[in-house]
């Protein structure tokens, strides 16, 4: 199954947010496969992460469920990973 169709991009993360926190939050949207917050060249967590669900139907549900959610006073920006890739590639 294509991981891209099961991934939710989550931006505007506080430096206090960990992968464990995101996992616990987004688990409410459906069964998760993994959560990843990439690191920069210096090993510091980036301000965005990827939430990969086991089922593609969980992605739009979670996006709607968590729309407007704030963690540590920062409103989360949510997008389908596929949409983010299309923007970056200029499609």
For the entire predicted model, the pTM comes to 0.84
Q: Could you tell me where the beta strands, DSSP code E, fall in the chain? A: 7-11, 32-36, 48-53, 70-71, 74-75, 77-80
Tokens of 73: 């006073």
Task: Write the CATH number of the domain with boundaries 4-89.
Answer: 3.30.70.330
Which of 35, 26, 33 shows the shortest CA–CA distance to 62? 26
Domains in the chain: boundaries: 4-89
Tens place of pLDDT per residue across the chain (91 aa): 588 889 999 999 999 999 999 999 999 999 999 999 999 999 999 999 999 999 999 999 999 999 999 999 999 999 985 554 444 444 4
């Amino acid at each position: 199954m294509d991981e891209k169709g099961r991934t939710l991009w989550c931006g505007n993360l506080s430096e206090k947010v960990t992968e464990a926190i995101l996992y616990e939050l987004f688990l409410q949207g459906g069964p998760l496969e993994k959560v990843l917050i990439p690191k920069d060249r210096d090993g510091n967590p980036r301000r965005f992460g990827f939430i990969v669900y086991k089922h593609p139907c969980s992605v739009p549900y979670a996006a709607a469920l968590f729309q407007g959610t704030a963690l540590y006073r920062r409103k989360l920006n949510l997008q389908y990973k596929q949409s983010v890739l299309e923007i970056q590639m200029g499609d």
